[in-house]
Amino acid sequence: MRIPTAGSRLSLGAWLLRGLGTYLLLESGPFLVLGLALRKTAAELAGPYLACAAPAAILMPLVWWLRQREERGATSKRLARGWGVSVALFGVAMVVAVIYSGVKFHLMNPTDALGGLVVSVLLSAPISYFTLYHMVITRLSSRAAAKGDGTRPK
Amino acid sequence: MDGARSVWRQLRHFQPAKLQPVPYAGNNPLSNVDPLGLDDGPECFEGDPDCCDGDDDWFECGPPLPEGGGGGGGGYAVHLDTRRILSENLGLPPGMLVMPSDVAAMLQGAFGLPQPGCEFGACGDIFGFGPGDDGNAAGVINIGPFLFYVRVLEAEVRNAASKKAPNNGQPQQPQKKPCNGWTRAGGVLKAVDGSITTAAMVDLAAIHFWAGGFIIGVTCFTPEPAEPVACAAGVFAGGSAWAGGTALGYGAYLVAKDEMIPGVKQAITCEP
């Protein structure tokens, strides 16, 4: 019997509702602590909160789409590239969100933040792309080997 | 991932004490007892009730602990006993502070410190990962913001000190130092120090970014069937790692800008 995956089991709306809901709930904890520690109002916290939610809002639909493509039999390399680009996008969005929050909370100098942004983006994008690319290729190969079809990943 | 795992296994079994071995009592003759002089490695010694059956090495079963839980001394410096350290810092008598071992382990993990049975970073069931390689990735998440805030604090203290400098309200004039070999040497030292710090921060940032990608990959890609809640939790944990990496990247940029480049300039132009 074939194991059902998210592609066949959940619609995009249901996936986002559960996944993003969980993420936003998890995110509210640290922001509550930050608000108390830095004595910020809800209005001051709203911008950084939304900025830090944006990376998840970008990544979660991409994950759903990638699982759909996997269901439809996309090649390993295409899937690996898709995962790499998605997580690199997530990383860049997260770097922007964290630096924006740092500036908003007066923890970072705005002029310095620009240099920090460039360094962090240059570091994060290739690392995340290659981490996920390598991981997906490895796992799909071992999955194909476990099934015993003996074919190399496409 | 197999390559990374094998490197990790080698790191786990790396024993610093063996770099300059003293045959008696596992390179720690003040703390360990080896009356027959037969123990030749950093294995278990008298006074350690839980360890060893002969096959386990120090990395698996931990260092010998002092009896009674307090008093310091004993063991290897790498392995931390959170309960003892907290007791000593709070001024409590030995054995008074009762802390569940998992809380102690989580405290150590939260600061990326070695945990019992897992010498580098956090391991154990933190962030929902089981014991093993995956859990270790979680341990490094928290170092970045911690280092970053230390850096911010340092900058604030420096600013406050410069503002409070007594000068009758007049802006301070930079004092011109004579240009000589010492000035250049100071610049070289500053540049070297800044380079090492920058490199270390870039390295740590890279680990954070790698850990973030790894955690997201494990939680969103592997489970069958795909589970949105697990994926969201992974994205959150990965995001935390990214936040740490970002903070470290920013810190590396600051150190390079404020220490490394001025040091190089001072070494070349002789202007402090």
Question: Which whole number is the average pLDDT over A14-25?
Answer: 89
Q: Does B3 touch chain A (CB under 8 A)?
A: no
Residue A97 has pLDDT above 90, yes or no: yes
Kindly list the residues from chain B whose CB atom is less than 8 angstroms away from the CB atom of residue A52: 239
Chain A to chain B Cβ contacts (< 8 Å): 157
Q: Which residue would you say has higher pLDDT here, A47 or B61? A: A47
Shortest CA distance from A98: residue in chain B: B243
Of residues B216, B247, B252, nearest to A98 (C-beta): B247
Of residues B214, B216, B225, nearest to A4 (C-beta): B225
Q: Residue B169 CA to chain centroid, in angstroms?
A: 43
Of B242, B30, B16, B19, nearest to B141 by C-alpha is: B242
Number of helices followed by number of strands (H, E) in chain B: 9, 0
Residue A46 has pLDDT above 50, yes or no: yes
Residue type, B85: I
Kindly list the residues from chain A whose CB atom is less than 8 angstroms away from the CB atom of residue B253: 112, 115-116, 118-120
With residue B166 as reference, give the H or E element that holds it: none
DSSP for A81-101, please give it.
HHHHHHHHHHHHHHHHHHHHH
- CB contact (8 A) between residue A124 and residue B210: no
Q: Which residue would you say has higher pLDDT here, A110 or B107? A: A110
Quote the radius of gyration of chain B (alpha carbons, Å). 24
pLDDT of residue B111: 46
Residue A31 has pLDDT above 80, yes or no: yes
User: Has this prediction a pTM greater than 0.95?
Assistant: no
Kindly tell me the sign of the dihedral angle through the C-alpha atoms of A73, A79, A83, A88: negative
- Class of residue B10 by CB neighbours under 10 A (exposed 0-12, middle 13-18, buried 19+): exposed
Q: Residue B216 CA to chain centroid, in angstroms?
A: 23
Q: What's the ipTM?
A: 0.81
- CB contact (8 A) between residue A139 and residue B253: no
pLDDT of residue A72: 86
Shortest CA distance from B231: residue in chain A: A19
Question: Which whole number is the average pLDDT over A104-110?
Answer: 85
Q: Which residue would you say has higher pLDDT here, A138 or B172? A: A138
Min Cα separation B141/chain A (Å)? 14
Question: Which whole number is the average pLDDT over A32-50?
Answer: 89
pLDDT of residue A51: 93
- CB contact (8 A) between residue A128 and residue B209: yes
pLDDT of residue A106: 85
Min Cα separation A75/chain B (Å)? 15
Q: Does B153 touch chain A (CB under 8 A)?
A: no
pLDDT of residue B103: 43
Within chain B, which residues score under 50 in pLDDT? 1, 20, 41-83, 85-142
pLDDT of residue A96: 93
pLDDT of residue A48: 92
DSSP state letter for B75: S
Q: How far apart are CA B134 and CA B244, in angstroms?
A: 18
pLDDT of residue A93: 94
Q: Residue A145 CA to chain centroid, in angstroms?
A: 28
Q: Which residue would you say has higher pLDDT here, B44 or A73? A: A73
Domain residue limits, chain A? 10-147
